[in-house]
Structure formats: C-alpha cells, structure tokens
Amino acid sequence: MRKTALVALIVLAAAVTVASVATAKSAHAITMSGTVSAVDQKTKTFSLKDAKGKETPITWTAATRVRGGTLKDGQRVDVSVFEKDGKNVATSIRIASAKLAEAS
C-alpha cells in the first residue's frame, strides 16, 4: 500500500511539473521596436508606434527593467512584452541613445 501511494505521489508531482513548464512556455515574451508616444507615468502606460505606423498599448510595472533613462514621447525603444489579462506588459524597455535615435 505504501509503495502504491509513493508511486502515485511521484506521478502527481511529475504531472504538476510538466503542467507548470507548459504554462510558462505559453507566456513567452516577444520583442517589439518603435517610437514611444502617449506616455503616462502615473498609470505606467505608453503607446509604441512601429515602422508601419501601428500603435500598440504597453504597460510596465515596478519589476520592469528600464535601461537608458526615463521614458519620454518620441524616444526609440526596444521592448520585451508578454500578454497578461489582455494587456501587453513590458518585462524590459531599452531606450536608444539620442545619437542612435537621430540616425534612424
């Protein structure tokens, strides 16, 4: 009886681990590039306009890594996002230096 219970417990633990890995892979991040517009520091949101003119709303959190300064309208950025509750949440934001932004 104890062996059966132990085997069942091991199988259950393995199933939970596989399910957790599958869930983590489905929430993978994508990278986007573009120009920042409509920044709202209070609600931690901004719009990212790509080269084709499409605007994507993005939210950031206290856990978001922001490199290159403070987010402002007109800046070129690379953003890694994942979708959560229907929103694009940034995991990292890399702001291009002023020299790079002027060249592009």
Residue 72: C-alpha distances to residues 3, 11, 37, 49 (Å) = 62, 51, 8, 13
Alpha-carbon gap, residue 13 to 7, rounded angstroms: 10
At 101 the pLDDT is 44
Residue 85: φ, ψ to 5° = 55, 40
At 79 the pLDDT is 96
At 17 the pLDDT is 55
Q: Which of 40, 32, 100 is nearest to 73 (CA)?
A: 40
Q: Which residues of the chain have pLDDT under 70?
A: 1, 5-9, 11-27, 98-104
Tokens of 98: 């002023």
- On whether the 30-103 domain is CATH 2.40.50.320, my answer is yes
Alpha-carbon gap, residue 21 to 15, rounded angstroms: 10
- Whether residue 66 contacts residue 60, with contact meaning beta carbons closer than 8 Å, is answered with yes
At 20 the pLDDT is 45
Q: Where are the domains of the chain?
A: 30-103
At 28 the pLDDT is 79
At 97 the pLDDT is 72
At 3 the pLDDT is 76
Local structure of 69: helix, strand or coil: coil
CA atoms within 13 A on the CB side of 92: 9
At 11 the pLDDT is 62
